[in-house]
């Protein structure tokens, strides 16, 4: 959702950097790119941000669940 909002008007490569650090984040990127119509840009992102498991440990990605555009706080 965040990636879609940030890239709706134009493709911003830097907004994908944190998500490309882990396999699960890469799947989020693929879904977001597909919804935005930029799926062909995935290979560019893979080359720019290679998968590195050492960087993944320092990632600050937070998972947020949404229902009808409202944030749900889960334990």
Domain boundaries, the chain: 2-72
- Per-residue pLDDT at 24: 86
Its pTM stands at: 0.66
Mean pLDDT by 10 residues, the chain (75 residues): 89 93 89 94 94 62 64 53
Q: What is the pLDDT at residue 58?
A: 58
Q: What is the pLDDT of residue 36?
A: 94
Instruction: Return all residues near 3 (Cβ < 8 A) that are at least 6 apart.
Output: 15, 16, 19, 28, 29, 32
State the Cα–Cα distance between residues 17 and 71, nearest whole angstrom.
23
| Interatomic CA distance for residues 50 and 69, integer angstroms | 32
What torsion, rounded to 10 degrees, do the Cα atoms 7, 61, 34, 53 define?
120
């Amino acid at each position: 959702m965040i990636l879609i909002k940030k890239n709706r008007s134009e493709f911003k490569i830097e907004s994908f950097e944190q998500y490309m650090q882990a396999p699960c984040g890469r799947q989020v990127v693929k879904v977001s790119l597909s919804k935005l119509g930029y799926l062909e840009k995935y290979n560019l992102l893979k080359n720019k941000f290679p998968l590195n498991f050492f960087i993944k440990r320092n990632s600050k990605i937070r998972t947020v669940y949404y229902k009808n555009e409202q944030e749900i706080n889960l334990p």
